[in-house]
Structure 1
Amino acid sequence: MEALAERLSQLDPHSEGAIRVVAFYDTLMRRRVDLPALARASAGLAECVAGIRLHGTGRSIRVAPDGRDATGPQAAASATAPITLDDEEIGTVWVERPGPPGVFDDVLLDRLALAAAAVVERYGPARTTMADPALVELVVSAGCDEAGRARALRLLGFAPDLPVRVVAVRSRLPLDRIGALICPARPVKAAVVADVGVILATTVAQDAFPSGVRAGIGTAETPDRSWRQARTALRFTTPRRPVVPHGALGALALLAEVPEAAARANPDVTALAHLARNPEDLETLEAYCATGSLRRAADSLHLHHSTVARRLDHIGTSLCIDLTDPTELMRARVALTTWQLLHDET
């Protein structure tokens, strides 16, 4: 292998050289080398540092031309190529050439990326984010036995000793992008189940969800219970609170169990339905219930506090609720939350 790499590195920029680079990587793939061996062979062929990085695991390999791990800070990549598996970018390969690009760098990186994808697919579960919806549904299904659930998790790439958090998502953004953001360096899988995005992750960074995403996060230890919690929490999300962990709901989660007919028949909810015809009034009440303060509500709405005060007086009269009284304000909050659950549009 080393002798072949030495010969190829001395070729002039003709098509024969490109063909030999392709043959070089075909040989490596037939030998079923691993990622470190791929990086070593590529660094020797390129005569400069070569690197491989997988997005899903955070794993990065940098090798110098002498076959040793490259030390020191990473230099700027002189050329890169994406590693693609099942139409998803799962990583990057690159070379760190100090001078001008090599004649065969593009061909070398193209073949290195293909070889790296083959290695990832061959050894263990693929580190892609998108998963088979059937497997994900097995993991979160209440009717699946524990042996079946464990097998599905294993096929998805989750180790038996790893915790699995379940997130219910509604968003126009691709699920794989969201999963990579909230769990960048640990196993994460995603699929759409019953028109709801499901993300299975070993860790969830709540502050990493991008704008425009509504997400409910389950907190139970078992995936099926966590999935039920995540779907419930998703119903409580609002534009002001787009990400809701189920554990943060507390007793409010009980509102999700109220029969729809009983909720709609409640006088406070009925009054709120009439109020909601005016978006400004509804937005003002939401801000006031969220902050509990006239001035903080005015700040969040970017309005003068006197304007918000007039609106709240009108809202209180419409609802027959004294919003300055703590008990009455609690009535308004419960009615508002119940109305939002009935008109869930996440």
Structure 2
Amino acid sequence: MRGLLLRLSALDSDAASAVRVISFFDALVAQHAGLERLVASTAQLAECPAGLAVPETGVWLRVDAEGASLAAAPPPSVSRELDGGGRVWLERDGGPLPLDEIVLERFAIAAAVLLGETRSRLSGLDDPALVELIVSASAGDAERSRALHLLGFSPLTPIRVLAVGSGPLPEPPGPQAAIGRQHAVLVPAETIVPIGHTIGIGPVLPAMRAPESWRAATVAVRFAAPGVVDAMRWDDLGALGPIAQQIKVAEIGDIPDVQALDRLAAEAGGPDTLDVLTAVAATDSVRKAATLVHRHHSSVAARLARAETSIGYAVDSPAGRFRLTLALALRRLRDSA
């Protein structure tokens, strides 16, 4: 099929070229290509972004000329309505090419046929199965957009994905599903995150990009410290988030500052001392740290002094606080793997 027709701009506006366009789309239908492939192939053929939207079922696809998915509202474009509702479109920067009309016509016909093949694919899934599909990086855009529709989300709705590491939320603010050892929760961007649970909070993204928010949330939850820092936002990790996605967990234990914390944890009362250090790193004063761990500030100050002797540096300077914060974060990253 690629040999049959590679670029619309290379064709003349004659009957033979129109037949080649028709054959191009007929081949996609005959191969039961799937909606993602149909839209991507059309965009590559037309050498401009192409899209498909069916509001009734929630299917929404938009692909650029290179075949990459786009998760943003399309600009004004020429379109063709589908029988039964919905539309397909091309986003041509300049004026239309001579064969654009027949491309849109055959694009619409092929979309209607392939929509009929996929219309019932998600009908038997419950909410957790739909959530799992939405955050899966291997799911197709057509299935993801339909699943979002079934859960009441538009593909372009700004959402966050939460990664809950302390078991399912008893009253989740959105649809929830168990994925491995964690639970994924889909929430609108402005949702207030429940307190008292270990949660990683993914970045705000269009709902079609939920897998990216979920992946970021699963990294963020590994930096949470239950009882001290329950919820961790990906946005607050800054450069540490991407670093965490690249670093090899097995190498973290070789870092001297992490080894110093490991030695401290092995001492009598070590876990409590680490809680104090975590609170100190998360606040800007000993008194605030004491409140966070429910200790008297003098007790926290004394424990902090002993900890500084053990780890070999003071934490009351910007450099010392950063060094402690990084070592604690890396240790949590390692231990949560």
Which TM bucket (shorter chain)?
Answer: 0.5 to 0.7
Whether the 8 Å CA contact 2:134–2:211 is kept in 1: the answer is yes
Query: Which structure has the bigger radius of gyration?
Result: 1
The residue matched to 1:206 in structure 2 has which SS? coil
Q: Which residue of 2 aligns with 1:251?
A: 239
Q: Which residue of 1 aligns with 2:199?
A: 215
Tell me how large the CA RMSD over aligned residues is.
2.7
Whether the 8 Å CA contact 2:257–2:311 is kept in 1: the answer is yes
The residue matched to 1:165 in structure 2 has which SS? strand
Whether the 8 Å CA contact 2:220–2:237 is kept in 1: the answer is yes
The residue matched to 1:178 in structure 2 has which SS? coil
The residue matched to 1:191 in structure 2 has which SS? strand
1:151-170 CA distance string (max 9 Å, x none): 22223332345333311113
Shift of 1:203: 4.1
Whether the 8 Å CA contact 1:321–1:328 is kept in 2: the answer is yes
* CA pair 134-328 structure 1, distance change in 2 beyond 3 A: same
Shift of 1:255: 4.4
Indicate which of 180, 189, 193 corresponds to 2:175. 189
Q: Which residue of 1 aligns with 2:223?
A: 236
Whether the 8 Å CA contact 1:131–1:189 is kept in 2: the answer is no
* Structure 1 residue ranges without an equivalent (≥5): 1-124, 180-187
Shift of 1:304: 4.1
Indicate which of 186, 192, 197 corresponds to 1:200. 186
Shift of 1:342: 1.5
Shift of 1:197: 1.1
The residue matched to 2:184 in structure 1 has which SS? strand
Query: Normalized against structure 1, the TM-score is what?
Result: 0.54
Query: Normalized against structure 2, the TM-score is what?
Result: 0.55
Whether the 8 Å CA contact 2:128–2:177 is kept in 1: the answer is yes
Alpha-carbon distance in 2 for matches of 1:289, 1:174? 28
Whether the 8 Å CA contact 1:166–1:223 is kept in 2: the answer is yes
Shift of 1:281: 1.4
Number of aligned positions between the proteins: 207
* Structure 2 residue ranges without an equivalent (≥5): 1-121
* CA pair 243-206 structure 1, distance change in 2 beyond 3 A: farther
Indicate which of 293, 303, 310 corresponds to 2:285. 293
Alpha-carbon distance in 1 for matches of 2:230, 2:327? 19
Pair 1:227 & 2:222 matched: no
Shift of 1:329: 2.5
* CA pair 154-342 structure 1, distance change in 2 beyond 3 A: same
* CA pair 218-311 structure 1, distance change in 2 beyond 3 A: same
Alpha-carbon distance in 2 for matches of 1:137, 1:313? 47
Alpha-carbon distance in 1 for matches of 2:167, 2:214? 20
Percent identity of equivalent pairs: 37
Alpha-carbon distance in 1 for matches of 2:328, 2:263? 12
